Structure 1
Amino acid sequence: MAGMTEIDLADPGRLTVPGADRAWAVLISADRYEAERLVQHDTLELTGLETDRRPSPGDPVAVVVDGEPAYLVALGRVESGVGVERDPDDPDPDEDVTPLVVAYTRRLLDEPLPVDGLVFHDSLTPLTADRWRALADRLGPPPPRRTWLVSLDLPIEAASPAEAVRIFWSYVRELGPRELPAYVSPSGDELAMQAYVLGAEANQDPEEDD
């Protein structure tokens, strides 16, 4: 990431961040980012972080996707890894390593923000208090929540309704959000229904593809 101001990792100090002594940025791969977009997780669990410095519980964390440019995709706070179910999407699971567990406080998975001024020598780097605040301020207030209708329709051949339901869930478990289109619309406006695959809007009209 040429042209970026390098952060001095030798002495990050104890930063004046409300509610914590230090702030951090963690770098995830594009593949992990895609996995996080597919299924809603309360936490981000990571192992294989090649750094001697480890955040403490309560430390704020900015989650950044590697790339040119890099993108901010979430904010969170460090939790203890004890008793947390291991994430199958973790690219480097290791039973002998204590994972870094980040509880999401704000997600930008669908509208990531480009960031500059960050240089990662490892997958984890400390942030100054001013840098953390600058990233958090860019998000603004969280968008209002509303009710959505989400459906998944599959034609199933079966001898009974109960068998059809079992086959349906087998398909859902086997194919999942990477292959099955889910249909979503605002509650009360079903005509605005859109199909989503891989966490993004997907055209399901073959005539429009011709």
Structure 2
Amino acid sequence: MTDTEPRTSGTIEGGTAPGAWAVLLPAERYEAERLVHHDALELTGLDSAVRPRPGDPVAVLVDEPLRLVGLGRVASATGEVREDPDDPQSEAGPGVLVVTYTRRVLDEPVPVPGLALGGPVTGLDPARFRELADRIGPPPARRSWLVSLDLPIEAASPAEAVRLFWSYVQELGPRELPAFVSPSGDELAMQAFVLGAEANQDPEEDD
């Protein structure tokens, strides 16, 4: 059986499981994905009737307007999770879906007109998935970047200053602290980023 054929996997009651899936991220989850790099996307609270198979391709989208922000493959299937794993009679909790990213376009989402989704996880025809994947195109060439974070810290010793630095980083994080990035060898092109987007740090330019 090829990836272009429907799969009869028994994962959906009474019929054939789609060969691919669309996952719709809430806006706040999309923002979180943009702030910190993750190799995988973990979703909870899904309908137990929706059970993609490990290896199924996934298109990751965000709504309003509908845009494609990544591609991936199912790493583990959704299913019922017992509140007490030692008690088979305990109440079943929500399933978990883990998607391993294969491609991300989080900073430049691709518009997807004309695609109707039926919920957080929707089955896709494999041909439709390929059409979505083709919209992204090949990955750009990778290059080296210099990323820095400078904080003025008052402390009694260098060791204490370092401890305070990491405390501020953990407390404030990428939502409040500006990180400075430039291509290696071109420090004059340095840009500041806050909340995953370029941010002007020169107050004189705001006047």
Q: Deviations over 1:140-188 (max 9, x none)?
A: 1110000000000000000000000000000000000000000000000
Residue number in structure 2 paired with 1:183 = 180
**2:21–2:124 Cα contact (<8 Å) kept:** yes
Residue number in structure 1 paired with 2:66 = 70
Residue number in structure 2 paired with 1:107 = 104
Residue number in structure 1 paired with 2:26 = 29
Residue number in structure 1 paired with 2:123 = 126
Corresponding letter in the other structure for 1:57: P
Q: For residues 105-184 of structure 1, what are the structure 2 equivalents within 5 Å?
A: 105-184=102-181
Percent identity of paired positions between Structure 1 and Structure 2? 72
Judged with a 3 Å threshold, the aligned counterparts in structure 2 of structure 1 residues 117 and 14 are, in CA distance, closer, same or farther, namely farther
Greater relative contact order (Cα < 8 A, sep 6+): 1
**1:137 Cα deviation after fit:** 1.0
Structural RMSD (CA): 2.1
Question: Structure 2: any 5+ residue segments left out of the alignment?
Answer: 9-17, 79-91
Q: SS state of the match for residue 7, structure 2?
A: coil
**1:66 Cα deviation after fit:** 1.4
Find runs of 4+ consecutive structure 1 residues off by over 6 angstroms. Answer: none
Q: SS state of the match for residue 94, structure 2?
A: coil
Corresponding letter in the other structure for 1:79: A
Q: SS state of the match for residue 93, structure 2?
A: coil
Query: Structure 2 CA distance, aligned partners of 1:73 and 1:49?
Result: 20
Task: Tell me whether 129-138 or 101-110 shows the greater mean CA deviation.
Answer: 129-138
Q: SS state of the match for residue 99, structure 1?
A: strand
Question: Structure 1: any 5+ residue segments left out of the alignment?
Answer: 1-11, 16-20, 83-94
Q: Deviations over 1:118-139 (max 9, x none)?
A: 2122211111111011011111
Corresponding letter in the other structure for 1:184: V
Corresponding letter in the other structure for 2:69: V
Residue number in structure 2 paired with 1:43 = 40
Judged with a 3 Å threshold, the aligned counterparts in structure 2 of structure 1 residues 163 and 73 are, in CA distance, closer, same or farther, namely same
TM-score, length-normalised on structure 2? 0.83
Corresponding letter in the other structure for 1:27: L
Residue number in structure 2 paired with 1:8 = none
Q: SS state of the match for residue 173, structure 1?
A: helix
Judged with a 3 Å threshold, the aligned counterparts in structure 2 of structure 1 residues 81 and 180 are, in CA distance, closer, same or farther, namely farther
TM-score, length-normalised on structure 1? 0.82
Greater share of strand: 2
Query: Structure 2 CA distance, aligned partners of 1:98 and 1:138?
Result: 30
Larger-Rg structure: 2
Give the count of matched residue pairs: 182
Residue number in structure 1 paired with 2:7 = 14
**1:50 Cα deviation after fit:** 3.3
